[in-house]
Amino acid sequence: MSINAATAGAPKTLEDLKSLLQNDTKVKVAGAHLSRPYGISVDGVLRGKFMSKGKFLSAASSDGFGFCSVVFGWDIHDAAYTKELLISNRANGYRDILAQIDLSTFRRIPWENNVPFVLVSFLDPETKEPICACPRGLLKKTADKIASASWQCYAGVEYEYFQFKETPQSLVDKKFTSLQPLTPGMHGYSVLRTQLNNDYFTGLYDESTKFEIDIEGHHTETGPGVYETALAYTSALRMADNALLFKYLAKSVGMKHGITPSFMAKPWGDLPGCSGHIHVSLRNPDGKNIFGVSESELKSGGRSDAPYDELKYFSEAGEHFLAGVLDGLPDIMPCLVPTINGYKRLVGGEAFWAPNSVTYGYDSRAASIRLLSPPSVPPAATRLEIRVPGADMNPFFALSAIFALGLRGMEKKLSLPLPPMSQLKPEDRTNGTVKMLPVSLEAATERMMRPESIAREVLGNDFVDHFGGTRRHEVQLWNQAVTSWEVERYLELI
C-alpha cells in the first residue's frame, strides 16, 4: 500500500481523468460538467466550490488554481481573526493561494447525484511549497520525513458523536437550547436501539462504503442518541482524509433525515463527552509493523530488556516512539483538543474515560495512551491509542503532531519518563511524577506558543504562530462572551 493510499477509482494520468469525466452521465443530467474540489481550514471545516469541467481539467494539468486565502483568515463562522495572521491579511490584499488538486482522492458523492469529488492542498503561489497551516500539507510533510527513514505512517480513528432530531433552522429557532436527542437513555452497544432510525443508522455505513471510507465498527454508544464509528486502519494521510470526510458524510446524510449529528466534544455537562481516539503505528517497506517484537522474542515471551512488563511485546523503536509522544504531549494539546469546549471533556478518572494527564498503560482506557500488543491483539496490530483527542479535533493536525513527536522520540532515543499506570501510586499525581495536561484552551495555547515548546521543534515556528494565533482568537471570543450560566448565576442575587 502506498503512503497516500489512493482511492480505488483514482486516475493515474490526465487521460484517465478525462475518460472518467467523459462517461459521467450523472453529471450531464445536472446540466453541466462539474467537479467539486475541497480544501480544509485550520478548524477542520471543508471549504470548496463547483468548477466547470474545462476549468477543472486545466487546473489538474497544471500547478493548480487560485483560491482565496481568506479561508485561512476566517474562523469557523467566517469572522476575520481579531489579530491578522501571516497567510491572509490586509497587507497582502487577501491574495489568492494555490489550490493543488490531489487526484489520488478522486471519488464520487453518492448522495449528491454521484458528482465527482477531489481534495486539494494549499500551496504558496510563489514558492509552490505547502503553506504552513495547510492541514494536508503539514501531514504530508510529517509523513514524508518519516518515509525518508523508510517507514510509513498508519493510523485509525474512532469517532463518538451525538445525534439530534433537529435541522439547521430549528437549531437557530431554539437558540441551540432544549434540543431533542435522537433517542432517549443510555444504550451503549445496543442491538435494539439501532432499529429506531434504522434507515439513518445503516445509511451512514452504506454511504461510507460507496464514498470509499471503510468502516471497521459502527454501533450505539452510551448516551442519548450517541453513535460510535471506527474507521478502518490505513495510511495516515488517507486516514485523515477519511476522518474529515466522514464528518461531512454524516452531516449530509443526517440532513436528508432531519437529523443533526454533532462532533462537539462535550455537548452535555452531565454526560460523557465525544472522543476522537487515534491509533498509530509505523511499518517498514515490507509492510511489517516496526512497533512489534521479532518472531524469536515473541516466541520467548517478549523482550528481555523491556523496562516494564507492559512493554515486553513492544519493540525498542516502539518504546522510543511512545516516549516521544509522552514527552511532548502537553505542548501539542491544541492540535488534539482545539476548542474551548473540548477541555470540559477531559475530566480524568475512570467514570468517563477521558484522561487529563501524561500517562500510559497496557490495554488501559484510563490512560492517555493505551498500549495495544500481544496478547490482547495480534503482533501485526501492535500500536498506540491516543485517547486525549475529542471528536472535535482536526485529524490532520492531530496525526501530524503525534507522528512528529514519535519520530523525535525515535531520533533522540528517548527513555520513558515514568512507569505505566499499573505501577503508579496515588501520590504520584501530586508529587510531580505524573504531569497534568493543560485544563483550558488558553493554557494549552500559551504552553504551545512558548519559545522552548516542543511543538515549535517538531511542527515549525510558522505553523505554531499561525495556528496558535487562531486559538488565541477563539479564547478571546470566549472571554468576551456572557453565557446563560453567568446570567442565571448572578443576575438576580448579585
CA 180 to CA 225: how far, in whole Å?
Answer: 9
List the chain domain ranges.
14-130, 152-442
3-state DSSP call for residue 455?
helix
Residue 262, phi-psi category: left (phi > 0), alpha (psi -120 to 50), beta (remainder): beta
The reported pLDDT for the residue numbered 23 is 63
Cell numbers describing residue 59: 487546473
Cβ neighbours of 295 (radius 10 Å): 9
CA–centroid distance for 173 within its chain:
30
| Global pTM value | 0.94
Tell me the sheet residues that pair with 46: 40
The reported pLDDT for the residue numbered 1 is 35
The reported pLDDT for the residue numbered 90 is 83
The reported pLDDT for the residue numbered 350 is 52
The CATH number of 14-130 is 3.10.20.70
Q: Contact at 8 Å (CB) between 225 and 194? A: no
Mean pLDDT by 10 residues, the chain (494 residues): 71 91 44 50 81 86 88 89 86 88 92 91 92 94 96 98 96 94 94 94 97 97 96 97 96 97 94 95 96 94 94 97 98 98 84 82 95 95 97 97 98 96 88 93 98 98 96 96 94 94
DSSP labels, 94-135: T-EEEEEEEEEEEEEETTTTTEEEEEEEEE-TTT-SBPTT-H
The reported pLDDT for the residue numbered 210 is 97
CA–centroid distance for 101 within its chain:
21
Cβ neighbours of 205 (radius 10 Å): 13
Nearest CA among 350, 195, 329 for reference residue 272: 350
The reported pLDDT for the residue numbered 39 is 64
CA 359 to CA 385: how far, in whole Å?
Answer: 12
Nearest CA among 95, 47, 99 for reference residue 71: 47
Superfamily of domain 152-442: Glutamine synthetase/guanido kinase, catalytic domain (3.30.590.10)
CA 228 to CA 130: how far, in whole Å?
Answer: 33
The reported pLDDT for the residue numbered 84 is 84
